[in-house]
Homo-oligomer: A and B are copies of this chain.
Amino acid sequence: MLRSNTCGELRLTDIDKNVILSGWVQRVRDMGNMLWIDLRDRYGITQLMLEENRNTPETLALARTLGREFVVQVHGTVVERVSKNDKIPTGAIEIKVETLTVMNAAKLPPFKIEDETDGGDDIRMKYRYLDLRRNVVRQNLQLRHKMAQQTRAYMDAQDFIEVETPVLIKSTPEGARDFVVPSRMNPGEFYALPQSPQTFKQLLMVSGFDKYYQIVKCFRDEDLRADRQPEFTQIDCEMSFVEQEDVLTMFEGLIRHLFKNVKDIDLPPVPRMTYAEAARRYGSDKPDTRFGMEFCYLKSPEKTQNNLVHGKNFGLFEEAEMVVGICAKNCADYTRKQMDELTEWLKRPQIGAKALIYARYNADGTLKSSVDKFYSEEDLKNWANEMEAAPGDLMLILAGETNKVRKQLSELRLEMGNRLGLRKPDDFKALWVLDFPLLEYSPDDDRWFAMHHPFTSPKPEDIALLTTDLGAVRANAYDMVINGTEVGGGSVRIFQRPLQQQMFEILGFSAQEAKAQFGFLMDAFEYGAPPHAGIAFGFDRLCSIFGGADSIRDYIAFPKNNSGRDVMIDGPSVIDQKQLDELKIKTVL
């Protein structure tokens, strides 16, 4: 037996017990005649005590050689501490050490194994096994474990069956880029790693599994941004004999269960908003609803609304498709410098705004704008009324093409939310966004793409539009958004062959291509496919939001960097010529 107890469990009630502890040396304090060691493991820290006259000179000498992160084992007795530490659960006791054994020495770690470390990103990723030793990092992964446990608890209670779908599947040209795996037994052919188990879960519905779920790895060979990983994890779900409402209810239940059981937060019922409304009010299909600062239209593309900027010869506004602003509370005293900085921020290529118009509603009740040349104080007063601005507030206004301006103002809104401290990491606001467009047109490719995926069902009342106005067809598709991040999305699926075939045609598949890629699914629809719908949550992302963090990397044990490399194991790597020969492939560099 290498230990009788962990370093987190001994208490005053254990006094006089003979114990064996094993763990890592966190700290050694040598007072000459007494020597203390903080021994650490996953469960906590226990103080060890050695004394000049009681312990042998050999033991004391050995203790004095201990460095940080040495792995040691001690036999000893639990005694009450003279000066207790009420900051840790074991702080009332210490171990009177009898024997001390070094199980493994440790070199000096390349960075501090502490919550506030001195290690940069690169060194911590190379020595990820040491980074994972830090409490903050391990706690992230423990949160992830708890999220998975609670997800399963909910899904199991709701009678979902967990089914493992295959990882070695077939490549499909639609959607993102696949990772592929050459098949040695089928030379010249390749498996693909799944971007999601979409078709398999639909087939499970055809099979009558009724309710399926899986926490499953998925893969996408896309260029990586800070927050994307080539392999990621989904909570993947599908249900039969359901309508959109059933899915929303079921998975609102999941999210509320997770908040309750992981964070002890009673999330209120999740509000709902259509895609169109989200675009109008927030300029985004994933609005952060922790704060207001909603869009106010001074000139709207919808004709029925007032136009408060017309006829004053201000070219930008006259030519703009829309003029829209947000009201930043209590920001009227922003300095010229601050305004210039904000304008520069908006003009960066990532945002691409041409100009920022602003109007201050001064605390004294006067109004002043960057377009005083064109608009009177009376005009500004009308704007203020429309934007519900009060004395002390700052109105920020953009103008131009609808889609561009909405995106730009959405970014500005989020930025102002950050600056004003309105996006609190411990405040959680969930939202369903509904009625997404079924299709979006790509001018570059001169074709329509499925906004969600080719298996998403149009709203029954919009099916007629499939032959007349593709852009107007709404899908029975839904996203769950938390704090401005899309954490999950899904749809009611097509379950009838003719509609699926029509959809493939719209997406530009030839009959032959559709059959080669998805023939098995369309065949399956002919053998009694039930109506079905589903959803998938990005598990890494969900964990990071629950943890209040921005990056998903902190919630993945062994993440890859932006070049798709695991710098710890130094992979990917070149492989033996023999392997290439067996696979009948060669590299062409």
A: residues with CB less than 8 A from B are 1-3, 6, 22-24, 40-43, 69-71, 103-107, 109, 127-130, 132-133, 138, 141-142, 144-145, 148-149, 152, 156, 161-171, 173, 177-193, 199-200, 203-204, 206-210, 217, 219, 221, 223-224, 230-231, 233, 241-243, 245-246, 495-496, 519-520, 524-531, 556-558, 560, 563-566, 568-576, 579, 582-589
Q: Which residue of B lies closest to A213 (CB)?
A: B145
Question: Which of B107, B142, B564, B588 is A185 in contact with, Cβ under 8 Å?
Answer: B564
A518 to B: closest C-beta gap in Å: 9
Residue pair B571, A168 in contact (C-beta under 8 Å)? yes
Oligomer copy total: 2
Residue pair B560, A207 in contact (C-beta under 8 Å)? no
Q: Which residue of B lies closest to A245 (CB)?
A: B1
A41 to B209, CA, bound (A): 8
Residue pair A566, B169 in contact (C-beta under 8 Å)? yes
CB-CB under 8 A from A206, the residues of chain B are 129-130, 133
Q: Which residue of B lies closest to A540 (CB)?
A: B164
Besides A132-B208, A144-B164, A189-B574, 14 new A-B residue pairs in contact (Cβ under 8 A), listed by A number: A2-B241, A41-B210, A104-B531, A130-B207, A145-B161, A163-B557, A168-B560, A168-B564, A170-B566, A180-B181, A181-B193, A185-B563, A190-B575, A586-B588
Interface majority SS (helix, strand, loop, mixed), chain A: loop
Q: Which residue of B lies closest to A526 (CB)?
A: B107
CB-CB under 8 A from A43, the residues of chain B are 210
Question: Which of B193, B209, B221, B586 is A132 in contact with, Cβ under 8 Å?
Answer: B209
Residue pair B145, A162 in contact (C-beta under 8 Å)? yes
Residue pair B579, A178 in contact (C-beta under 8 Å)? yes
Residue pair B208, A133 in contact (C-beta under 8 Å)? yes
Question: Which of B71, B179, B496, B566 is A529 in contact with, Cβ under 8 Å?
Answer: B71
A263 to B: closest C-beta gap in Å: 18
Q: Could you pull out 29 A-B pairs where Cβ atoms are within 8 angstroms?
A: A1-B246, A2-B531, A22-B241, A24-B208, A42-B210, A71-B531, A104-B495, A104-B530, A106-B527, A129-B206, A130-B207, A138-B207, A145-B161, A149-B152, A149-B156, A152-B152, A164-B556, A165-B557, A166-B558, A167-B217, A169-B571, A178-B579, A180-B575, A189-B571, A190-B573, A192-B571, A192-B575, A203-B568, A586-B586
Residue pair B170, A589 in contact (C-beta under 8 Å)? no
A582 to B188, CA, bound (A): 16
Residue pair A585, B582 in contact (C-beta under 8 Å)? no
